[in-house]
Structure 1
Amino acid sequence: MEANVRWMLLTALAPLAWGANYYVTHAYLPADRPLWGATLRALPAGLLLLALARRRPHGPWWRRSALLALLNTAAFFVLLYLASQLLPTSAAATVMAASPLAMLLTAWVLAGQRPHRAHLAGALAGLAGVALTLLGPLGAVSWTGLAASAGAMLVSSVGYVLSARWREGADPLAATSWQLTAGGLMLLPLAAAVEGAPPPLDGATLLAFGYVTLVATALAFACWFAGLRHLPAATVGLLGLLNPLAGVLLGTALDGDAFGVRQGAGLALVAAGILLGRPRHPRPAPEPVVEPVTAGRPGLPRRRVP
C-alpha cells in the first residue's frame, strides 16, 4: 500500500473519533462545566502521551508548545465543549465542516502554501456534501453556540497550520503530549476558580470522560499531528470532513435520524472531495534505454517511447 494512503487512513481515525465526541459530550457530560470538561479531557491525555514519549521540549519548542497549547488545547477544547452542549450535533458539525476552507486560507496566509485547484475543488465538494447531508430545519439555534463553534474552527485552523509549519525538530507524539499537558495546566486553575470543584463522576460520566480522554484526545491527536507531519495541510483538512459525517451516521444509528437519497448523495460528494484533495506526486521521467552494440558501434542512449 502506498505510504501516503497509509498516512491518510491513520489520520482519518482522528476526525472519526471527534465526530463521535459531539454525541458523547452532548449526551453524557455535564452541560455547565466547560472549563472542567476541557481540563479533564486534556490533562490526563497529555500526561499519558508524555509518559509514552518521555521527551521534554527543547530550544524553541518551549514557546511553540505554549502557543500551540493555548490554541489547539485550551481555547479549542473549551469552545468545542460549549458548541457541543449548546447546539444540535447537526448545527455544530455544519459549522465545523467549513474548517477545510479555513485551513486552506490560513495555510496560504501564515505559511505561504498557495492552495492547488484540486485542493480548492475538493474542499468545496466536501463542504457541499456535508451541507447536503445535514440540510434540514435546525429549529431554534443558539447564537452563542454558533459563535463558539466558529471560534473553535478558527483557532484550530491557525494551530494546525502552525503545527505543520513547525514540524521539524520534534517528534509528533512528544509535541502532542506537550501541548495537551500545557493546555490542561493552563485550564486547571481557571476551572477551579470559575466553576469550583470538579463535577461528580458517576458510571456513565466516567466512561464518557474515558472515551473523550483516551480515544477522542490521546489517540486522535497523535494520529492527526502525525498526519500533518507527513501530508499537506490541505489534505489533512479535507480528511477533517469525516468529523461531521461521523456525527450524521451516529445520529442515524442511535437517534433514528432519516438517511435517504439526499444523505447518500452528500456522502458521495464528501468522498469525492477527499479523493480530489489526496496528495499527488509528479510522474517519474522515463528512464533512458541503451541500445545493444551492433556492427561494432557503441550503443546510443535513447528515450523510451511510451
Structure 2
Amino acid sequence: MSDFVNNFWSNYIAAGTVLSILGCMLLLWLTARKRVPSDADNTTGHVWDEDLREANNPLPMWWIGLFVLTIFFAVGYLVVFPGLGSFSGQANWSTRSEYDEDVAKATAALAPVYASYAGMTMEDIAREPKAMAIGERLFMNNCSQCHGSDARGSKGFPNLTDKDWLHGGTPEKIAESITKGRIGTMPPMAAAVGTQDDVKNLANYVLSLSGAPHDSVRAGLGKSKFTVCAACHGIGGVGNQAVGAPNLSDKIWLHGYGEAAIVQIVNAGRHSAMPAQEGRLTEAQIKLLASYVWGLSNPATGP
C-alpha cells in the first residue's frame, strides 16, 4: 500500500474487506431467522419437471458453525496480519521482513565461504574453480537477464567476453560498475552536425574508422563533422572510458551496425542504464562476481 500516492485505495480496500465480513454475518443471521413453511411430507410446495419436489432440509448446525468459525477466523487474521488496507497487523509481519530474514540467514550461512577468498586478489580468484562456480551462479541470477547466459550480450547490452570495455576492463573497474551501476547518455546531435545529408556523411565517416563498408565520398565529406563527436569519442573515434564513450574505430557495434543505425542514433540520441547492485549483493559477492566477469575476457592460459 505504500506505493499509492494517497490513502484512498488503502481505505477502499479496508472498507471492502470489513463490509464483506459484515455482509456474511448478515446473510447467516437472515438465513437462520427465515422459516420456510413445509407440507406434511417436508416439502416446500415447489415442483419442477412435474414430479421434482424441493425438500425443506435446513443446513445442519455443524455446517453453520463452520461458517461462523470462518468469520471469527477472518476477524482474528485481520487483527494479527496485514489485510485492512495499510494496517500492518499486531504481528507486524510482511513479505519484505520475511525476505530480509531469509537473506540474512543465507548471508550468515555463506559468510565462511566468502571469507576464504577475502585475502585473495580478484585475478587469483578468477583462477580458482570453486570461486568461479559461485561467480557463475551469481552471474546467472543477477546479470544473465541482460548480458545473456553466455555473457555475450545482445543489441544494447555489452559483450562481457571480449576486450571492449566502455568504462574499463580491470577487475576494480568491473567491480565499480557492478556496485554503482552505469548511466550512458548520448544526446541527439543532428542539430550540431547540420542537415540530414551531413548526418549521413558523418555516419559513413564513422563506418570508415573501423574499415566497415561505406561510401568513401560521403565519408570524406563527413570527416569535418566528426569534430562535434570527438569531444567524447576522441580524435579518431578511439573512445573515452572516463565518460563511457564507445570506441568507434573497432568492429564492435553495441547499438546496431550500418549507416541507418548510426543515423538513427545521431538523430535521436541514446540512453542506457545498468542498475547498481549495491544493496542487493554483498561486497564479498560483488568481488567474486567481478572476478568471474573479468575471467571471461581473460581466460587462464597454461597448465
Q: TM-score range by the shorter chain?
A: under 0.3
TM-score (norm 2): 0.19
Greater strand fraction, Structure 1 or Structure 2: 2
Greater helix fraction, Structure 1 or Structure 2: 1
Q: Which structure has more RCO (C-alpha within 8 Å, separation ≥ 6)?
A: 1
TM-score (norm 1): 0.18
- Higher Cα Rg, which structure: 2
